[in-house]
Amino acid sequence: MRKKLWIYLALLVVIPGLMFTVSCAKKVTQAEPSAEETAVEPEVDTAARIAEEQAAQEEAARQWEMAAEEDIEEQRQAEDAAKEAEMQQDMAAAKQMFENEDIYFDFDSSALEMMATEVLKRKADWLFETADASIIIEGHCDARGTEAYNIALGDRRAESAKAFLVDIGVDESRLTSISYGEERPVDPEANAEAWAKNRRVHFVIE
Amino acid sequence: MRKLNITKILTVVCLVGFMAFLPAAGAEEYEYIDISNPFLRKIPTAIPRFKNMSENKKGEVLSVKLADSLSKTLAFTGYFKMLDRGAFLADPRNPDITATRINFRNWTVIGSELLLTGGVAADDDYIELELRMFDTFQEKMIIGKRYKGRESNLRQIIQRFCGEVMFHLTGTRGVFNSRVAFVNAEGGVKEIFISEFDGYNPRQFTTNSDLSLFPAWSSDAKWLAYTSYARGKPDLYIMNIKEKNGAVVTRKGILITPAWVPGKFELAATLSFSGDQEIYLLTGRGKIIKRLTTSRGIDVEPTWSPDGKKMAFVSKRSGTPQIYIKNVVSGRVRRLTFEGRYNTQPNWSPRGDSIVFSTMQLGRIDIYTIGVDGKDLRRLTEDQGDNEAPSWSPDGSLIVFSSNREGISKIYVMTAFGTDQRRLISLPGAQTSPKWSPNIANQ
């Protein structure tokens, strides 16, 4: 019985103790926020400034970056333009070469010489690269010989060039041939040099 | 319309004239002109100034003008040697124009074999002409005609009488009702022009401002076919000359050198739509009837025999351009030219026996004739620049051609034997590709 009494006594001591402890703990936790409030206030102020500074810095950096980016874009555009111009120049040059480079024939002949086939291969390359282009193949003769026969001969010359291009894969629908006979000489002089220049097939881009 | 009426009136008047002056009987018996080579000996002919029968100023002026015109027109044929009026013994002031009054000895003594006289009466509107031709040795009239017309008809009247003269001397009416089509080049543009047979009154026919080439007359002279680049490439145009309408034949490649089949509304031309230059027979509307050549290589420049049964053309089938003849009935083809390495531009004589063409040799082009049998090759031009594109007159007595003998290419005419070469057309610029028309009925 006495043992029970001691336990009750002990309990009587421990419980209020526990209760005190709990209340005490409560008090501490209650006190802490108030202490923090006073201490944190100035600290918030600093953080805002830092954030502001940081933002400003970031903004500056961004601005710099943008400026840099803009510069790069400009540079790129300039480069592109240059490249484009160069490409166009190349294309124009290729086009010009295409139109300026004639093939030549012997008198009263429509047979393609070795040189002519080399030129025609280059024409084909250009035509493969420039898939949307159609061309006119003009057959011409020198002033010697007679008019009608020369129109027939010019027709054969243009047809020889056309057949060669078709053989190496150029779509025939892109090629139109026309004969001018002796009607349109590049050199109107009456000498061997002029005649050689006039016996030609000329290419025109449509 | 007005012109047509005048022509009708003129025709009626001429018929009346014909009855009034019947030619002396048996005129056709005379063999005046040797057809084999009439130009070796020209007929000495006298044409004194005409008698002024109206005795007014107009008649006075015309009496000289018309005598000159008659002399010039006849001389064009190459058959006559016109005697100088200064050598005439008869009184030039008061010429005798009828057989009963003419002293033929005055004419035979100066060597004149033919005498042509004229009388002219002119009032304000009309002019009456009496024209006669006499054989001075036989002392008789061969032709006598009376004409009436306006001043604008005088050229035509003279030509009509010249036609009569030629008919009595050669059996054909000559070239006086014919024209010449040719190509006129100025500033890179080539247009087709048409002039009278003697080069008079050249008029522009095409107005394409591009290249128009190779004119070809239909045998009724109502249609002209030619090649034009007006649509950017050499197409074939078949045009009614009076109406100026017709067909444009366009295909892939070239359409060149048309030649009408005599007596038909059909023509041959070179087309290259197959990739090869071949000669086809087409209707006058431009539809293909059939292919006429079948050899690989160039076949161009067809020209028809007068009966339309044979066609001469240029082919490169043997390696160089040469002239061939195809019998379109049997289909047989034979080579005509063997001399030279460049024979082109054949044109079949309306007389049927000979073909005129051009040969290029040592860089120079000259005109030759060759018999249809391949014999009798004759050179007609020599040492006078390039001479090209020969075309026969409708009576086969003359040849029109182009030559650069004076620098720029111009149109010339010569006899079938190469004599009497002279300039035909006086226009600025260059003229090429002449084609002589058939005689034009009811001009």
pLDDT in single tens digits along all 443 residues of chain B: 444 444 444 444 444 444 444 444 444 444 566 556 666 789 999 999 999 999 899 999 999 999 999 999 999 999 999 999 999 998 888 888 888 899 999 999 999 999 999 999 999 899 999 999 999 999 999 999 999 999 999 999 999 999 999 999 988 889 999 999 999 999 889 999 999 999 999 999 999 999 999 999 999 999 999 999 999 999 999 999 999 999 999 999 999 999 999 999 999 999 999 999 999 999 999 999 999 999 999 999 999 999 999 999 999 999 999 999 999 999 999 999 999 999 999 999 999 999 999 999 999 999 999 999 999 999 999 999 999 999 999 999 999 999 999 999 999 999 999 999 999 999 999 999 999 999 987 54
Handedness of CA A181, A186, A188, A190 (dihedral sign): negative
- Put simply, whether A187 touches B (Cβ < 8 Å) is no
- B60 CA: distance to closest CA in chain A (Å): 50
CA dist B323 and B320 (Å) reads 10
- B315 CA: distance to closest CA in chain A (Å): 9
A176 - beta bridge partners? A136
CA dist B239 and A44 (Å) reads 104
CA dist A90 and A96 (Å) reads 9
Q: Determine whether the interchain pair A147/B358 forms a contact, defined as Cβ–Cβ distance below 8 Å.
A: no
Search chain A and give the residue with CA nearest B388. A146
Q: Are B192 and B224 in contact (CB under 8 A)?
A: yes
Chosen from A136, A144, A147 to mutate, greatest number of chain B CBs within 10 A: A147
Q: What is the 3-state secondary structure (H, E, C) of A12-56?
A: HHHHHHHHHHHHHHHHHHHHHHHHHHHHHHHHHHHHHHHHHHHHH
Q: Determine whether the interchain pair B298/A144 forms a contact, defined as Cβ–Cβ distance below 8 Å.
A: no
- Which chain B residues are closer than 8 Å to A151 by Cβ? 213, 227, 234, 254, 256
Q: Which of A144, A152, A183 sits opposite B363 (nearest CB)?
A: A144
ipTM of the complex: 0.89
- Put simply, whether A198 touches B (Cβ < 8 Å) is no
Model pLDDT for residues A102-161, shown as the tens digit of each residue = 999 999 999 999 999 999 999 999 999 999 999 999 999 999 999 999 999 999 999 999
- B256 CA: distance to closest CA in chain A (Å): 7
Handedness of CA A64, A67, A72, A75 (dihedral sign): negative
- Put simply, whether A179 touches B (Cβ < 8 Å) is yes
Chosen from A151, A153, A177 to mutate, greatest number of chain B CBs within 10 A: A151
List of residues 6+ apart from B27 with CB closer than 8 A = B142, B143, B168
Q: Which of B232, B300, B363 sits opposite A149 (nearest CB)?
A: B300
- Which chain A residues are closer than 8 Å to B254 by Cβ? 151-152, 155, 179
Q: Which class for B406: exposed (0-12), middle (13-18), buried (19 or more C-beta within 10 A)?
A: exposed
Q: Determine whether the interchain pair B256/A148 forms a contact, defined as Cβ–Cβ distance below 8 Å.
A: yes
Helices H, strands E: what count in chain A? 4, 4
Q: B124: helix, coil or strand?
A: coil
- Tell me what pLDDT residue B10 has: 47
Residues A11, A12, A16, A19, Cα dihedral to 10°: 30
Search chain A and give the residue with CA nearest B190. A183
- Tell me what pLDDT residue B9 has: 46
Radius of gyration of chain B (CA): 23
Q: Determine whether the interchain pair B298/A146 forms a contact, defined as Cβ–Cβ distance below 8 Å.
A: no
Q: Determine whether the interchain pair A152/B432 forms a contact, defined as Cβ–Cβ distance below 8 Å.
A: no
Chosen from B227, B256, B341 to mutate, greatest number of chain A CBs within 10 A: B256
- A81 CA: distance to closest CA in chain B (Å): 38
Q: How many residues does chain A have?
A: 206
Q: Which of B213, B272, B342 sits opposite A145 (nearest CB)?
A: B342
- Which chain B residues are closer than 8 Å to A159 by Cβ? 253, 272, 275
- Which chain A residues are closer than 8 Å to B300 by Cβ? 148-149, 152
Search chain B and give the residue with CA nearest A145. B360
pLDDT band, residue A10 (cuts 50/70/90): low
The 10 Å CB-count burial string (b at 16+, else e) for B138-169 is eeebbbbbbbbbeeebbbbbbbbbbbbbbebb
CA dist B406 and B384 (Å) reads 8
- Tell me what pLDDT residue A77 has: 85
Which tokens go with B4?
């047509």
β-pair type (B212-217, B246-249):
unpaired
Q: Are A72 and A121 in contact (CB under 8 A)?
A: no
> Whole-structure pTM over 0.90, yes or no?
no
CA dist A75 and A88 (Å) reads 19
Q: What is the mean pLDDT of residues A175-180?
A: 97
Which tokens go with B315?
């082919």
CA dist A81 and A93 (Å) reads 17
Q: Determine whether the interchain pair A152/B277 forms a contact, defined as Cβ–Cβ distance below 8 Å.
A: yes
Instruction: Name the residue among B335, B333, B389 with its Cα closest to residue B360.
Output: B389
Residue A39 has pLDDT above 50, yes or no: no
CA dist B135 and B168 (Å) reads 12
Chosen from B226, B251, B254, B274 to mutate, greatest number of chain A CBs within 10 A: B254
Chosen from A138, A146, A159, A189 to mutate, greatest number of chain B CBs within 10 A: A146
Q: Which of B232, B233, B298 sits opposite A149 (nearest CB)?
A: B298
Model pLDDT for residues A53-93, shown as the tens digit of each residue = 888 888 888 887 777 777 778 888 888 888 888 888 888 88
Instruction: Name the residue among B55, B50, B139 with its Cα closest to residue B97.
Output: B50
β-pair type (B43-46, B354-361):
unpaired
Q: Determine whether the interchain pair B270/A179 forms a contact, defined as Cβ–Cβ distance below 8 Å.
A: no
CA dist A117 and A161 (Å) reads 8
CA dist A58 and A45 (Å) reads 20
Q: Determine whether the interchain pair B254/A179 forms a contact, defined as Cβ–Cβ distance below 8 Å.
A: yes
CA distances from A99 to A86, A111, A202, B387 (A): 19, 21, 7, 36
Q: Determine whether the interchain pair B277/A177 forms a contact, defined as Cβ–Cβ distance below 8 Å.
A: no
How many A-B residue pairs are in contact by the CB < 8 A criterion? 68
